[in-house]
Copies of this chain bind each other. A is one copy, B any other.
Amino acid sequence: MTGYSVKQLAELAGVSIRTLHHYDQIGLLAPATKAESGYRCYGQAELLRLQQILFYKELKYPLKQIKAILDNPDFDLMDSLKQQRQQILQEADRLQQLLVTIDKTIVGLQNQEQMITDEELYEGFTSEQKEAYRQEVTERWGADKLQETEDRLRQLSSQEWTDVKAKGQAIEQLLADLMEQAHEVQTPLVQKAIAEHYAHICAYWTPNAQQYEGLGKMYVEDERFKAHYEQYAKGLAAYIYKAIQVYCANGMQGS
């Protein structure tokens, strides 16, 4: 039982030989004896000390501190541990915050990536129709209003909605806003919104054109439906019905 060589101790403790060299160098863990050849030889006491070192290293103590702890018998370990705990807690909080930031970034990126193009947004309309319409809206409401509305439509198409009801509300609110801004029902954005509405309905059942038109009719004739829509804006039920009629007349496509 001559003790452990560097390799043996390293393997026993699961550290590298270089680490032992380093610890010797900084005076953190000196070998029990050094042969005249210069070979390091460690005993039981050193193994124990190494295990303590590794324990504190786990707790993210810097080596200098560990040396102080192990070399000073009257080191206030309790106080130090509480401080260390505080620090780690702070770091953990920061990481949690980071996760939120990353998640937001990811979601933002997804929306951006899946953003549909202008062609998709104005599907079924010619390029001229599209530009004429955009110009008209811009003149009436400004470029930013147009931008906002287009973006809302894009998000409706692209974002995965975990909450189907929320999506429904977003569509209805958008239609209400379009009506209040006096977009006529056959215009591209309204038709696109109706397309989204149809897609949304399909989450529950899949009506054909006739059935869908019947549904629109119900919106104005059935008091319960009507009340639901009128809470967004007066006349919304009728507006949607007219829009649906146009949508169905055009074969349930944008144009």
Contact = CB atoms under 8 A, between A and B. Distances in A.
A59 B109 contact: no
Contacts of A99: 85, 88-89, 92
A81 interface: yes
Contacts of A249: none
A91 B88 CA distance: 11
A84 B109 CA distance: 15
A12 interface: no
Q: Does more than half of chain A's interface fall in helix, strand or loop, or is it mixed? A: helix
Interface stretch (A100-108, A136-144, A152-160, A231-239): A100-108
A102 B84 contact: yes
Chain A interface category by residue count: 20 to 34
Interface in A82-130: 82, 84-85, 88-89, 91-92, 95-96, 98-99, 101-103, 105-106, 109-110, 113
Contacts of A166: none
B106 A81 contact: yes
A36 interface: no
A68 interface: no
A109 B78 contact: yes
Given A59-B98, A78-B106, 10 more contacts: A58-B98, A58-B101, A59-B101, A59-B102, A77-B109, A78-B110, A85-B106, A88-B95, A89-B99, A92-B96
